[in-house]
Structure 1
């Protein structure tokens, strides 16, 4: 289907433009900036230029949509791996409006929009309180601070799939308030009647039930020459929290570093190693990580893959004529 993608949780990647500004710790070793500089492009800083894609490039999703409709199976498209669609930048306003029109013309694609700027979603997207069912929306959260800032805003979006990308995962995360149906804290309004709605929670049978929650969590370690290791316990914690809530969990990769045990350690005996002393394994010992590279590190956690993805449900969105403007 389509051109294919090296990103494990999608099938195609579409970048309407390249470039955005760094805004959080996950951006420190930005892979997109590294890739752009290989092409002589300096695009990843505040108010810098943004590289626009050609009209021919913009035709690819229309082709993918036709193929998906022909075989009767929707296809996932990640938009955008080299930018942030919701960045406030004067150079991308027209391209963003063009993107919304393209998305509406391609209902057989499952558009996966991922942002670090959820505060701009409501103002910049055209769909208000009724998003097309073929558009998924997610936020990135590499640490607890970013999770607590971004996820509550994401949960206000009425999309068919709301997802979280924890890559690179830089610390242990508590996602219980955003995954489970029950409030994780104390009763905020003990005298409220059943049916009351406060801060995204509804009073039902004397308990506060979360109205909206995450549908999907993606996690992974960091790649690249300056990659930081991800502790195995952080991934196990996310896996456990998702399992308890019935939320899909996808482990994308270990990245450059993997646990230094089993075959991984024997394959690169001279590789660089590091002890993660701030957290310990099940025996109370520091966890040793070994740098073997993304390919050898793989994506197995406790010997098995985790590749859960929300189902590709059909939509009833009108398919506009291809003669309509993008």
Structure 2
């Protein structure tokens, strides 16, 4: 089933795939793994085998087609569509649904950037499908940007969350949107304000939409508090710009 989301940059989640395995530093405190354990414990269908078992769920493929109201969907918030254990044929079926549900906007985020390039070299990306990669650090995250530039998507975006270090002066050619956020939950690693400002400056200088999602478990002063108390302000301002789409999501442009 699709689920209304509390993630600030989307409206709903759609999970035709569940489960994942850790790939890089940003996966250390995966929120989806924690959530999957909770869902498994209360018997939610699809999570019977836990999180590390990647499962495709064909019964969920048509769910967006059943909703007529234009909606922004985060695709596979509980997995990675381009995981090695998801076949090209199933990914193609997901893309067929997204193409057919042209009144929705679909946000596909992955850490497996090389496979995105391979898949999209042979499969068209519909205009209502946004493709993004995670950029948590220099070693694992920044190289994904070059792969993303090769993807023939109308909208390409970066999720710089959790931001674990200064990622330098980002080259944002061909990138349309950047999300930045700090880590939350048990064991969360702090994010420094100067790291965020550097990404913000890169976006402002290169004309890229910048969305500051959250400080997470540590505020701009480095002190640990609840995510809610730390809030979303960066230097006293909410930054929530996004590319335009046909939806009622109440965000800046």
TM tier, smaller = 0.7 to 0.9
Match of 2:54 in 1: 50
Deviation at 1:93, TM superposition (A): 5.2
TM-score by length of 1: 0.68
Deviation at 1:255, TM superposition (A): 0.7
**Does the 8 Å contact 1:100/1:126 carry over to 2?**
no
Distance 1:296 1:53, change over 3 A: farther
CA distance in structure 1 between the partners assigned to 2:183 and 2:226 by the alignment: 10
The reply to whether residue 307 of structure 1 matches residue 240 of structure 2 is yes
Which secondary structure does the structure 2 equivalent of 1:85 belong to? coil
Match of 1:77 in 2: 73
CA distance in structure 2 between the partners assigned to 1:303 and 1:227 by the alignment: 23
**Does the 8 Å contact 1:22/1:44 carry over to 2?**
no
- From 210, 217, 224, the equivalent of 1:291 is 224
Match of 2:180 in 1: 219
Match of 2:144 in 1: 150
Match of 1:87 in 2: 83
Deviation at 1:54, TM superposition (A): 6.7
**Does the 8 Å contact 1:136/1:162 carry over to 2?**
yes
Deviation digits for residues 19-41 of structure 1 (CA, Å, limit 9, x no counterpart): 11101000011111111112335
Match of 1:124 in 2: 119
1:225-264 equivalences in 2 (<5 Å): 225-260=186-221
**Does the 8 Å contact 2:180/2:213 carry over to 1?**
yes
CA distance in structure 1 between the partners assigned to 2:31 and 2:107 by the alignment: 19
Deviation at 1:125, TM superposition (A): 4.2
Which segment is superposed worse, 290-299 or 94-103? Answer: 94-103
CA RMSD of aligned residues (A): 2.1
Q: What are structure 1's unaligned runs of at least 5 residues?
A: 69-74, 180-212, 261-288, 315-326
CA distance in structure 2 between the partners assigned to 1:149 and 1:313 by the alignment: 31
Distance 1:258 1:7, change over 3 A: same
Q: How many pairs does the alignment contain?
A: 239
Deviation digits for residues 111-170 of structure 1 (CA, Å, limit 9, x no counterpart): 111100010113334854x52111110100101122332111100111111100010000
Q: What are structure 2's unaligned runs of at least 5 residues?
A: 41-46, 248-253
Which structure has the larger Rg over C-alpha atoms? 1
Match of 1:23 in 2: 23
Deviation digits for residues 44-82 of structure 1 (CA, Å, limit 9, x no counterpart): 44xxx2244472x44431133x222xxxxxx32111111
1:184-195 equivalences in 2 (<5 Å): none
**Does the 8 Å contact 2:120/2:151 carry over to 1?**
no
TM-score by length of 2: 0.86
**Does the 8 Å contact 1:259/1:290 carry over to 2?**
yes
CA distance in structure 2 between the partners assigned to 1:167 and 1:245 by the alignment: 20
CA distance in structure 1 between the partners assigned to 2:23 and 2:116 by the alignment: 16
